[in-house]
Amino acid sequence: MTAMLLDVDRSSTDAELLHAATHWVAAHVPPTWREASVRGRNAIRKVRPLAEYEAWYPLFADSGLAVATWPREYLGLGLTQAQARVLDSVLGPLNLGRLNPLGLNNAAPALFAYGTEEQRLRYLPPIVRNDERWCQLFSEPGAGSDLASLATRAVRDGDLWILTGQKVWTTWAHESRFGLCLARTDPSAPKRKGLTYFIVDLEDPRVTVRELRHIGGEVDFNEVWLDGVEVPDTSRLGAIGEGWRAANATLSGERQMVAGAGSGGVDRIGGSGADRLIRTAGSNGIWSDSLVRQRLTSLYAEESVRRWTNERVRATVKAGGTPGPGASIGKVHQGALNQRIQLAATDVLGTGALAWETSAPATGPQAWAAGLPYEVKGMLRSRANTIEGGTTEVNKNVLGEQVLGLPREPDPYHELAWNATPRS
Ligand SMILES: Cc1cc2nc3c(=O)[nH]c(=O)nc-3n(C[C@H](O)[C@H](O)[C@H](O)COP(=O)(O)OP(=O)(O)OC[C@H]3O[C@@H](n4cnc5c(N)ncnc54)[C@H](O)[C@@H]3O)c2cc1C
């Protein structure tokens, strides 16, 4: 790796930062992207295919601009939040989105909070460069909402841990190098206390990743089998038995990301925003219906409030505060809001949402989905928004207990040994 970090630091003035960023952009951002940026973010997407962006991206990462507030040894620039905002004023119009969202939002917070310095130096720079992607090996067939009851075992063998179990719904495991894995190291301890957090190398031949295809036809998540996988003790993240606490650094980052409050800025998963619907309704004539106008402008207003609220959470995090239960508020609202927006999108299309032709001769169980309009795929994908990253019901429990101070949900097995509790 030949990082060419920008020559700026905490003592740099705003003028120096602007000069450095502008100079870097002129030297390294392809002219077609810069020209398109004048016409807006969508115009950039049109001239910048994802594959081209991915090929170029390590150059951006090596400048330190992708994670400007991180320390320089992890490919950041060690800047303050205020300085990073100055850089953003130059980079923002170029729509230089950060790749590797699970690495940045799920793995990195855990590595910062619980990793050793050796682990941070090994794993963080390839995350920033998008050289090594990550996934989250938490959920199991019998442990989703009640994650702490999970059954994947990790047994110590000298300097190694032997991991055996099955994970499911593992987003992007099929294209990840590493997985953050929560496993049970002490079955005789209460369920939350017997867990330990590990970094699993998915290239190990004893790991089997099997793709799951979802209703819109795409593959996003997987089943993952760990069949006696050998994990060195140096790949343990945090103390033995402290896995629950360490994994929560990841879960909080995930909730922010799914709600759009995370630094990755994923504002919605599935479909497109209310502004696009309004444009579609304007062009296909349905906008003349006052009830449609009322519905779409109401969604637009609600989406704007959601965005501003997310910006406030982001600002709190950037200022050094913790998102905590606040991230769950965004998650609960965003999931349901996006489902309403995507349902409206299919209504706006009218019969266009139902009839389609497949140009590609697709076969197999996903063939029917090959010709689905973009809006319908978005609507189908959005059904998962109230499940992924913790279900709405469970996040409401979190809000009730941690924000409103209501009594905790009763759990008769809370302090009972895990191997003495009934499980599905
Ligand atoms: C698109 C997508 C991506 C995902 N990606 C990942 C991933 O990368 N890694 C990973 O580890 N997991 C992932 N998951 C799994 C996800 O975290 C779980 O699906 C989720 O936590 C729910 O668990 P479950 O599916 O087992 O449902 P269950 O826990 O069995 O819940 C079933 C129903 O019961 C309700 N319920 C459960 N407990 C309570 C309670 N205490 N109070 C009230 N209602 C309750 C739930 O709200 C739900 O409606 C993903 C899921 C989806 C849909």
Tell me: the pLDDT tens digits for 365-411? 566 677 778 888 889 889 999 998 889 999 899 889 888 899 998 88
pLDDT of residue 167: 98
User: Atom of ligand 1 at shortest distance to CA of 391?
Assistant: 47
Q: Tell me how far the alpha carbon of residue 388 lies from the centroid of ligand 1, in angstroms.
A: 6
pLDDT of residue 262: 43
What's the mean pLDDT when you consider all of the chain? 89
Determine the Cα–Cα distance for residues 353 and 209; give it in Å rounded to an integer. 34
Which residue from 386, 391, 395 has its CB within 8 A of the most atoms of ligand 1, so it is best to mutate?
Answer: 391
Which residue from 135, 388, 396, 408 has its CB within 8 A of the most atoms of ligand 1, so it is best to mutate?
Answer: 388
Structural domains present in the chain: 1-97 (no CATH), 134-246 (2.40.110.10), 249-403 (1.20.140.10)
Q: If you take atom 32 of ligand 1, which residue's CA is the nearest one?
A: 145
> Residue 108: how many CA atoms within 13 Å on its side-chain side?
26
CA-based nearest residue to 239, from 184, 196, 199: 196
Residue 139 backbone phi and psi in degrees, to 5: -60, 150
The token duo for 214 is: 């979802």
Residues with Cβ within 6 A of ligand 1?
A: 135-136, 138-139, 144-145, 169-171, 221, 384, 387-388, 390-391, 393-394, 397, 409
pLDDT digit string (tens) for the chain, length 424 residues: 556 999 999 999 999 999 999 999 999 999 999 999 888 777 888 899 999 999 999 999 999 999 999 999 999 999 998 999 999 999 989 988 899 999 998 999 999 999 999 999 999 999 999 999 999 999 999 999 999 999 999 999 999 999 999 999 999 999 999 999 999 999 999 999 999 999 999 999 999 999 998 887 788 899 999 999 999 999 999 999 999 999 987 776 666 565 554 433 345 577 788 998 999 999 999 999 999 999 999 999 999 988 888 888 777 776 777 665 556 688 889 899 999 999 999 999 888 887 566 666 556 656 667 777 888 888 988 999 999 888 999 989 988 988 889 999 888 888 899 999 987 6
